[in-house]
Amino acid sequence: AALARRGNVAGLPALHAACEALEAQQCLYVKLGEVTETAQDFARQHAIRFVQHQDLAKLLGPLKAQGKG
């Protein structure tokens, strides 16, 4: 996953290339702010999923539960 300050398309090509090189099953981009329409279009075309706010909390939930044990 990639973390950026602005949700523009700048980091997405590198993320896409890395996901392909690793033959990743999923390609996730963590973004806690706005995502531009251009970035959304690029992500859609390249099967990149944006992870924002509540989605991030859901992903991290199991990690938090593991830490309590």
pTM here is: 0.68
Question: pLDDT tens-digit profile of 10-36?
Answer: 789 999 999 999 999 999 888 878 888
Put the strands of the sheet holding 48-51 in their side by side order.
2-3, 27-30, 48-51
| Enclosing H/E stretch for 3 | strand 2-3
What is the tens place of the pLDDT at every residue in 28-65?
A: 888 878 888 899 999 999 999 998 878 888 878 776 66
- pLDDT given at position 11: 84
Q: Of 54 and 7, which is predicted with more confidence? A: 54
pLDDT at position 68:
62
